[in-house]
Amino acid sequence: MRSKLTISKALQVLLLVFLVIAGLYYARTFLIPIAFAGIISMLLVPLGRRLEGRGLSRGFSAVVCLLVFILSVSGIIALLVWQISDLAKDFSQLEQKLTQAIEQLKGFFNQKLGIPHAEQEKIIQQQQQSGQGSASKMVSGVMGVLVDIILVLVYTFLFIYFRTHLRTFVMKLTPADEHEKTNKIINDCGQVAHKYLTGMFMMIVLLWILYGIGFSVAGVPNAVFFAVLCGVLEIVPFVGNLTGSGITFIMALSQGGTTVAIGVAITYALVQFIQTYIIEPLVVGGEVNINPLFTILVLILGEELWGIPGMVLAIPLLGITKIVFDNVEALKPYGFLIGEEKKKRSGGFIDKIKGWFNRTEKKEKRP
């Protein structure tokens, strides 16, 4: 009898997981802007509280928070556009090299595979025609992105403005004896999202500096652009840094030759070492304690369900989910499953640096 109950409970859990995944997929156009707005609002709420503490109304402080966020993102985009304008000067030279490479490929296909040049030209023309047919889809896609951006900004403002109302609603859903725990969960979720995002921003800035120095020493043309690109793509874990470095490697190989490309590879390896063992433990820290297995799984699942936005949102959303699991008795085993097992470190390099900072802070606090 007990085994039947256990199997029935397991089937209910599997059914619930399946329904949640199906709901996330079919409601993605509705949920993605809300998820982005929720994460951004958690990042901006501390700033809003400071502004309100100085006498500003909640509505005005929410507007200021949005303006700060928009200006920050616009600054990064302006930097990229500025560097792209410099990169465009080298496009004619790059185009010539690409044309030569395409001609060499045509010769290879003709000699090795027996595909004549006329047949290759026909295939290329068919691909170009299909690309022209998808131009309207591209325009509609751009319009959809613009609409989503506007929705994200509107939702973010509303989340900041009505955050007390939303918190009270959640409190009303829980029993009176659970209010303290519920309040703790809400605060922890907000703090983890805020610390993770601010740490990620600081890490991206440090990566800009490291990649900029490395690419400049290696002799990469437009090193600043590729440094900014590699840093910005870091918001997509694992995949982003590989994509940015891969693009830089290809451009360096086509414009600067093998020596510059090898310099890019060495820079990537050194920056990854510094990022993994120094920057991430110090700047990002252990705010989202997810083990590597579930990090990869949630990234793949996020891409399958929501595409690139799903990969960007996967880690912070899973971190928030883990906090909920860790504070609900029945869900604690699942929180342990997706989390990292805490290990005691002794005498590590990062621990020594943190200890040095702690001793310095204690000395400064002494009268």
Residues 90-97 have a mean pLDDT of: 60
Both tokens assigned to 328: 């609900």
Most confident listed range (17-21, 107-111, 165-169, 192-196): 165-169
For the beta carbon of residue 327, count every other beta carbon within 10 angstroms. 16
Residues 136-147 have a mean pLDDT of: 72
Phi, psi of 339 (to 5 degrees): -90, 170
pLDDT score of 364 more than 50: no
Buried b (16+ CB within 10 A) or exposed e, 70-102: eeeeeeeeeebeebeeebeeeeeeeeeeeeeee
pLDDT in tens, 294-309: 888 888 898 889 988 8
At residue 71, the pLDDT reads 92
pTM for the model stands at 0.73
Q: Identify each DSSP E strand in the chain by its residue range.
A: none
pLDDT score of 158 more than 90: yes
Q: Is 196 in contact with 319 (CB distance < 8 Å)?
A: yes
pLDDT in tens, 18-27: 898 899 899 9
Which amino acid belongs to residue 209?
I
In DSSP notation, 206-239 reads HHHHHHHHHHHHHT-TTHHHHHHHHHHGGGSTTH
Phi, psi of 21 (to 5 degrees): -65, -40
Top-confidence residue, 1 or 173: 173
Rounded distance between C-alpha atoms, residue 73 and residue 201, angstroms: 11
Annotated domain spans of the chain? 27-133+149-173, 189-287, 288-340
Tallying the residues shown for the chain, one arrives at 367
Both tokens assigned to 134: 């998808």
Rounded distance between C-alpha atoms, residue 122 and residue 188, angstroms: 60
Grade residue 116 by pLDDT with cuts at 50, 70 and 90.
low
| 4-18, 50-64, 112-126, 267-281: the lowest-pLDDT one | 112-126
- Distances from the Cα of 283 to the Cα of 77, 253, 278, 304, angstroms: 24, 33, 8, 30
Closest CA to 39 of 198, 231, 207, 204: 198
The dihedral through the CA atoms of 84, 87, 92, 98 has a sign that is negative
